[in-house]
Amino acid sequence: MGSGMGKYPTWQFDEFVPCGVDYGDRAVVGAYDSNHGKFRDYDRASAEIIGKLGLREQDTVVDMGCGTGGFALRGARHCKRVYAVDVSEAMLDYARVQADQAGLSNIEFHRGGFLTYEHVAEPADAMVSVAVLHHLPDFWKLIGLRRAAAVVKPGGRLYLFDVVFSFPAASYESFFDGMVRWFHGSPTPEFAAELETHIRQEYSTFDWVMEGLLRRAGFRIDEAVYSDGAMAAYVCTREAT
């Protein structure tokens, strides 16, 4: 299926082309939940996101880069409507089946991404995006976050989780070697190769860059939590102007 990029300027970054791990690959998508289930608890993480954003039952939420539906399915049980958006048709197909099986009819699925999704509805109360923004180079991250700010109503919230580097840049070799070695000895050794692909080809950036991007896009950062030198969770509010 085409990406629909034909309607955008030819200089625009094509977010439909995977930059590292291929989430358009149905085998990768089919194995995603069982792989991620080894180190993630979707129920607990989603409850934490709902709590941090203060989501109410009348709220609408965009899950940008919804993947298999880890948050979207749980958000839909709590909120009025979830707009589940992803560039990968394979991910959307998988998540749709999960939603059908769970009997959830308040999730709208859309193929698109930070740079292309058109929110044809009232501005949303919140956006959630987990492990997605590193697919865009920094310039395009800002464009994507500006578009996110336009989708969320003034005073609305953003929860952004991603691989963001907060370790001292001077020690990058020992830091990355150590991370890859750790995965080799962990319950998920297959993630060692995925991590190498991530470091080599995807666009994770520095904590100070990410904070600047969020502010310049029009978000106030209410909370920034950095862990293990490579993970970040931001809770933000969309500024009024």
Ligand X SMILES: C[S@@+](CC[C@H](N)C(=O)[O-])C[C@H]1O[C@@H](n2cnc3c(N)ncnc32)[C@H](O)[C@@H]1O
Quote the least distance from Cβ 121 to ligand X, whole Å.
18
For ligand X, the binding residue among 81, 110, 135, 238 (CB under 6 A) is: 135
Q: Does 75 bind ligand X (CB under 6 A)?
A: no
Contact predicate 122/114, CB 8 Å: no
For ligand X, the binding residue among 136, 214, 217, 232 (CB under 6 A) is: 136
Q: At CA 110, angle to CA 104 and CA 111, rounded to 5?
A: 135
| CA distances for 67 relative to 9, 38, 46, 71, angstroms | 26, 17, 14, 9
**125, 197, 192, 136: which is closest to 162 by C-alpha?**
136
Q: Which stretch binds ligand X (CB under 6 A): 84-92, 118-126, 167-175, 228-236?
A: 84-92
Q: Does 88 bind ligand X (CB under 6 A)?
A: yes
Site for ligand X in 22-61 (CB under 6 A): 23
Dihedral sign for Cα atoms in the order 197, 227, 235, 208: negative
Q: By C-beta, is 81 or 168 nearer to ligand X?
A: 81
- Point out which residues pair with 231 in neighbouring strands: 163, 227
Residue 123 CA from chain centroid, whole number: 19
Dihedral sign for Cα atoms in the order 151, 155, 160, 164: positive
Quote the least distance from Cβ 108 to ligand X, whole Å.
15
Q: Does 199 bind ligand X (CB under 6 A)?
A: no
| CA distances for 118 relative to 110, 115, 183, 228, angstroms | 9, 9, 38, 35
For ligand X, the binding residue among 87, 124, 148, 151 (CB under 6 A) is: 87
- In this structure, the number of other CB atoms found within 10 A of the CB of residue 8 comes to 14
Q: By C-beta, is 60 or 88 nearer to ligand X?
A: 88
**55, 110, 52, 54: which is closest to 77 by C-alpha?**
55
Q: Does 167 bind ligand X (CB under 6 A)?
A: no
Site for ligand X in 101-120 (CB under 6 A): 113-114
Q: By C-beta, is 23 or 176 nearer to ligand X?
A: 23
Quote the least distance from Cβ 77 to ligand X, whole Å.
16
Number of residues that bind ligand X (CB under 6 A): 18
Q: Does 67 bind ligand X (CB under 6 A)?
A: yes
Q: Which stretch binds ligand X (CB under 6 A): 65-73, 177-185, 187-195, 229-237?
A: 65-73
Residue that has been written with the tokens 């319950």 in this structure: 187
For ligand X, the binding residue among 86, 124, 191, 210 (CB under 6 A) is: 86
Positions touching ligand X (CB under 6 A) are 15, 23, 64-67, 70, 86-88, 91, 113-114, 130-132, 135-136
